[in-house]
Amino acid sequence: MRNIILFILVLFFGIGSGCIQDSNSDLTKLPVKFNYPSLGENVFVFDPEMDMKEIQIVLDTIFARQSARRSEFTTNRYALLFKPGKYELDVKVGYYMQILGLGESPEDVVITGAVRSNSRGNSVLVNFWRGVENLTIVPAVDTTVTWGVSQAAPMRRVYIKGNMNLFDKGYASGGFLADSKIEGRVASGPQQQWFSRNTQWGEWIGGNWNMMFVGVPDAPEEDWPAKPYTTINKTPVIREKPYLTINKKGFNVNMPELKLNSSGPGWVDNTDNKTVLQLKKFYIVRPDNDNSESINAALRKGKNLLFTPGIYSLSEALKVTRKGTVIIGLGMPSLEPLNGNSVMDISDVDGVTISGILLDAGLKRSEALMEVGEPGSPDSHAADPTFLFDVFVRIGGPHEGSVKSAIVINSKNVIVDHIWLWRADHGNGVGWEKNWCANGLVVNGDDVLIYGLFNEHNQEYQTVWNGNGGRVYFYQSEMPYDPPTADAWKHDGINGYASYKVADHVKTHEAWGVGIYNVFYQAPVIVDNAIETPAALEDKIHHKIIFWLNGNSDSEVRSIINGKGGPVNQSVRKATLK
């Protein structure tokens, strides 16, 4: 117990500015034994043989720090790992807390009690940047797991032996669930929109604006727009997110293999094949030790990367040139540019995997924060695509920052599984001239596929699609809140910018479950189209909804797509098209 008291004192009083880089090494004096390479000061590994009361104190102490209102943009990051076995705990999940089981199956780590995300007040609209993966939850109080979240809060590879609520108090604004099993009922309640993939449950209840299910055998039946459901029976192609395991020799990274036309979680019937990478194949990146030079040196040596929790300021881009490179973030690390550079440039090669990282725009404007492939990349990667899992971008929020286009995809056959591109509407460094970003996403490569595209508040087109053969399963987008005048948001004689723009030259493109929302707080803004596509592709954008949320009473979005559908304004708040 003495170590626990010391931990609390250090956590609250001994870390100075609160930056993870300043964390005191006394944090490692917790009753946790590291008989393997260090994964960073703010990674805690729990064993079922430990005293549950001591574990609970550690969890509660971290949560208390990460759940306060000021914690939304804290620099502290935590990864809490559980070795296989049974636990009796109440795991409250706050900002930048990643909860991970270390078993081969989610059933190897069983937490009886709760693993939950609750509201901080009247809603969970800003419950961002947290996650739970690879464990079983047995709810012990009311048979229900409360997962009240909005964006950037993935739940993956989780088995819930009970019911699940996707809300707590008040409204919630979208979330992501994949590769999971819920024995009982999933209730969406006031969730405005939600994306689920390769998951099974006993029953789904509720739905407001836009609920999408891909590869979910028990999904609600479509009846759009009478019911807000979009259901795709099979997931066309996916490789599940990498996950950590542990054995007597230490940590491994399991890399699930590509699967086609799948339904439900593969781990339930052991149909998921995987490749196992030993941790020695990874360079362990630490915020107190590494910079662009040392990380690029490790990449040149053929190492994969595991970023430990923290903030990484990079003077030049990380250069990913080797096919099959794996880059994993543990505890939601943040990477930011110092000199107007990009954070990561990925060559046009096969099978790169990027998972679990935040990209924060820097004070000096960058052209892009991440670029996948060089312009004009010619090669097909259909047999071994590059994957982006749980990549989250912020322009403003933690601090002022600007970028022209947050992520640019030039390579073909890239697959994205959950992404949130957010020009901040609140926080630090926020304003029309402060956190500038034209486009959240620009896709130039052919045959790019995205599951769960969240893209919000950028100052021109949110999404620009220039490649052929693109597919998007679920789109959530809010237009910018803060155009200062109607004229400031016009171009080429057109009022406003469409959120979803498919270029005039594109011949093939398809999207399902496309939700676009607007709040214009300052000027009375007029937007001609929420979606713009070539005329021949209008019917390939399925289940479209636009919604007037709030703001200036004279604002209006005049049509859903190419002058058709709508409008929405203060009097008519919702419009849909099939």
Told to judge if 221 belongs to the known catalytic residues of this protein, a careful annotator would answer no
492 burial type by CB count under 10 A (0-12 exposed, 13-18 middle, 19+ buried) = exposed
Q: Which candidate, 236, 176, 152, 211, places its Cα nearest to that of 513?
A: 211
Q: What is the pLDDT of residue 270?
A: 82
CA distance 49 to 47: 5
CA distance 213 to 420: 18
Do residues 472 and 230 touch, judged by C-beta distance below 8 A? no
**Helix or strand or coil: residue 446?**
coil
Q: What is the pLDDT of residue 31?
A: 45
pLDDT (tens place) for every residue of the chain, 578 residues total:
434 444 443 444 333 333 333 333 334 444 444 334 578 889 999 999 999 999 999 999 999 999 987 899 999 999 999 999 999 999 999 999 999 999 999 999 999 999 999 998 888 999 999 999 999 999 997 889 999 999 999 999 999 999 999 999 888 999 999 999 999 999 999 999 999 999 999 999 999 999 999 999 999 999 999 999 999 999 999 999 999 999 998 999 999 999 999 999 999 988 788 999 999 999 999 999 999 999 999 999 999 999 999 999 999 999 999 999 999 999 999 999 999 999 999 999 999 999 999 999 999 999 999 999 999 999 999 999 999 999 999 999 999 999 999 999 999 999 999 999 999 999 999 999 999 999 999 999 999 999 999 999 999 999 999 999 999 999 999 999 999 999 999 999 999 999 999 999 999 999 999 999 999 998 899 999 999 999 999 999 999 999 999 988 999 999 999 999 999 999 999 999 99
For domain 2-233, the CATH class is mainly beta
How many residues are given for the chain?
A: 578
CA distance 163 to 143: 6
Structure tokens at 447: 């045959």
Cα 50 from chain centre: 32
CA distance 292 to 337: 10
Per the residue annotation, which of 133, 371, 460, 478 is the catalytic one?
478
Q: Domain extents for the chain?
A: 2-233, 479-499+506-578
- The pTM score is 0.94
